[in-house]
A and B are shown apart, each in its own frame.
Chain A
Amino acid sequence: MRKYIIKRILLSVLILFCATFVIYIVLRCLPGNYVETMAIQLSTKPGAKSFEEWMAQLSVTYGLDKGPIEGYFVQIGNMLKGNFGDSWRWTVPVIEKFNDVIWLSFVMGGIAFVLELLIAIPLGVVAATKQYSRADYAITAGAVLGYYAAKRFSLPTFFFATLLKLVFAVHLGWFDISGLVGRNYAQLDAMGQFLDKANHLVLPITTLVIVSIGGLMRYTRTNMLEVLNSDYIRTARAKGLSEKKVIYHHAFRNTLIPLVTIVGGSLPSLFSGALITETLFSIPGIGYTSYHSMVVGDIPFSMFYMTFMAILTLAGNLIADILYAVVDPRVRIA
Chain B
Amino acid sequence: MAKKKAEGYLSAKESRRISRENRRITNEFEKKRKRKNVPESEYLTEMHDPGNAVEFDNLHTYFFTDAGTVKSVDGVTFEVPIGKTVGVVGESGCGKSVTSLSLMQLLQRPQGQVVEGEIRLNMGDGKAYDVTKMPNEKLQELRGNYVSMIFQEPMTALNPVFRIGDQVSEVIALHNGEGKSKEEIAERSIALLKMVGIANSEGVYKMFPHELSGGMRQRVMIAMALACSPRIIIADEPTTALDVTIQAQVLDLLRNLKDKINSSIMFITHDLGVIAEMADYVVVMYAGRIVEKGLAEEIFAHPAHPYTIGLMASKPVVGKQVDKLYAIPGKVPNPINMPNYCYFKDRCEMCVAQCGGDYPHEVSLSATHKVSCYRYYDGKGEE
A226 to chain B, nearest CB (A): 12
Verify if A185 is at the interface (C-beta below 8 Å from B).
no
- Tell yes or no: B240 within 8 A of A by CB: no
> For residue A236, which residues in chain B have a CB less than 8 angstroms away from its CB?
159
When the two chains form their complex, are residues A240 and B142 in contact, meaning their CB atoms are under 8 A apart?
Answer: yes
Does A257 reach chain B (CB closer than 8 Å)? Answer: yes
- CB–CB B144/A239 < 8 A: yes
Is A240 a contact partner of B160 (Cβ separation < 8 A)? Answer: no
Interface residues of A in 211-239 (CB under 8 A from B): 230-232, 234-239
- Which residues from chain B contact A238 at a C-beta distance below 8 Å? 104, 106, 143-144, 148-149, 151
Q: How many residues of chain B have a CB within 8 Å of chain A?
A: 30
Contact of A239 among B136, B160, B170, B210 (CB under 8 A): B170
Q: Is B371 an interface residue, CB under 8 A from the partner? A: no
**Contact across chains for B143 and A253 when beta carbons are under 8 A apart:** no
Q: Are A235 and B208 in contact (CB under 8 A)?
A: no
Least distance between B340 CB and chain A CB atoms (Å): 33
CB neighbours (8 Å) of B174 from chain A are 239-241
User: CB-CB contacts of A233-254 with B at 8 A, as 1s and 0s?
Assistant: 0111111111100000010011
- State whether B143 touches A239 (Cβ < 8 A): yes
Determine whether B21 belongs to the interface, using a CB cutoff of 8 Å to chain A: no
A232's contact among B144, B156, B170, by CB below 8 Å, is which? B156
B136 touches A243 (CB 8 A): yes
B47 at the interface (CB under 8 A from A): no
Is the CB–CB distance between A329 and B160 below 8 Å?
Answer: yes
Cβ-based interface call for A330 (8 A): yes
Smallest CB separation, B203 vs chain A (Å): 15
Is there a chain A Cβ closer than 8 Å to B140's Cβ? yes
Convert A191-212 into 0s and 1s, putting 1 for each residue whose CB lies closer than 8 angstroms to a CB of B: 0000000000000000000000
In the complex the two chains form, is A253's CB within 8 Å of B162's CB?
Answer: yes
Is the CB of B1 closer than 8 A to any CB of chain A?
no
- When A237-B143, A329-B210 are in contact, do A253 and B158 touch as well, CB less than 8 Å? no
CA distance A241 to B170 in the complex (A): 9
Partner of A329, one of B144, B157, B208: B208
Q: Is the CB of B160 within 8 A of A232?
A: yes
CB pair A241–B208 under 8 Å, yes or no, is no
Does A232 lie within 8 Å of B159, measured CB to CB?
yes
B224 touches A329 (CB 8 A): no
A-B contact pairs, 10 of them (CB 8 A): A231-B156, A234-B151, A235-B159, A235-B221, A238-B143, A238-B144, A240-B175, A241-B140, A242-B140, A253-B159
